[in-house]
Homo-oligomer: A and B are copies of this chain.
Amino acid sequence: MPVLVVGSIALDTVETSHGKAQDSPGGSALYFSAAASLFSPVDVVGVVGKDFDFSTIEFLREREVDFTGLKITEGKTFRWGGRYKENMNQRDTLFTHLNVFQNFRPAIPEKYRQDKLIFLANIAPELQLDVLAQVEKPALSVLDTMNFWISGARDLLMQLIEKVDVLILNDEELRELTNKFNMLESANLLLEQGPRAVVIKKGEHGSVLVSRKGYFLAPAYPVPEVVDPTGAGDSFAGGFLGYLAACEDIDELNIRRAVVYGTVAASFTVEDFSFNRLKSITREDIESRFNEVREMTAF
């Protein structure tokens, strides 16, 4: 079963203590696809400019990522530049050129409208709502967002939260969204709004799945050397949804496992710039690290 993703496609220029990557493919939709396609087919909705070099993402097509929903328009592709601090937990944005992404209005192709799993990557809540209106009722819709929308479009975001099944966000975003300090209390408040689960990402400290069935406490995979954290969150979502798309049932146990697969996908992403690492691995590498996490948490 394919997973539908609607999000950004960008050319990133990233500097970390390990070097610099110039104009390399990135953006939420591609990071998501690179991870999810290790598990299942992916349908992409996004926009790029005429300058986008498709040869750099040829591996995605080979993994059954469908780009029917990709619009190629006059103008330049979205460009983002950032520099990470030594500890890799903080970064400065050096530039953001929205370019063709500025006027992105997601149009869901007919053939994607019955996709059962949907990832609403971080774009304006208004557009995310519009995407939901274009698809038939999916089995699982997953929402990502960011501080910018939490403070700038809170009402629309709250409307969205009532409609989606899973909310994935980091601990800081969660606090900003609920104005509560206690993470679990915050997540439970959000569950009352409608979603069946909230996944709280805590970076190197792992993640917590909060659902009506209780808590699942997942560690981060201990990556020996983080080279570039860009895309970790979107590949987490990719591993999470990609795994679930291949499952018979989307039950609590599979959602827990999906969190671990998300963790594992993200752990590969950060080991190199862009999706160089996700490009080189196979499903077997994912399984091997999944089993390592199992071993590292057994007691």
Contacts and interface: CB of A to CB of B under 8 A. Distances in A.
Interface of A: 86-87, 181-182, 184-185, 202, 205-206, 208, 214-219, 222, 224-225, 253, 256-257, 259-260, 293-299
A215 B299 CA distance: 12
A43 B253 CA distance: 44
- Shortest Cβ-Cβ A-B pairs, 9 listed: A217-B219, A205-B205, A256-B299, A217-B296, A215-B296, A257-B299, A184-B222, A217-B297, A297-B297
A268 to B, nearest CB: 17
B205 A296 contact: no
A297 B222 contact: no
A214 B295 contact: yes
B297 A216 contact: yes
A197 to B, nearest CB: 14
Contacts of A257: 299
A126 to B, nearest CB: 34
A192 to B, nearest CB: 16
Given A256-B298, A296-B214, A298-B256, A206 B219 contact: yes
Given A256-B299, A298-B256, A215 B205 contact: no
B214 A299 contact: no
A282 to B, nearest CB: 22
A41 B216 CA distance: 34
Contacts of A294: 299
Contacts of A225: 182
A205 B184 CA distance: 13
A224 B297 CA distance: 23
Contacts of A222: 184, 208, 215, 217
A181 B86 contact: yes
Nearest to A258: B299
A216 B256 contact: no
A269 B237 CA distance: 36
A124 to B, nearest CB: 32
A127 B187 CA distance: 47
A181 B217 contact: no
Contacts of A202: 205
Contacts of A185: 224
Given A181-B87, A184-B224, A222-B215, A299 B206 contact: no
Given A181-B87, A205-B205, A219-B206, A253 B214 contact: no
Contacts of A224: 182, 184-185
Given A205-B206, A206-B205, A222-B184, A216 B296 contact: yes
5 contacts: A182-B224, A216-B299, A217-B293, A218-B297, A256-B299
B218 A299 contact: yes
A298 B254 CA distance: 11
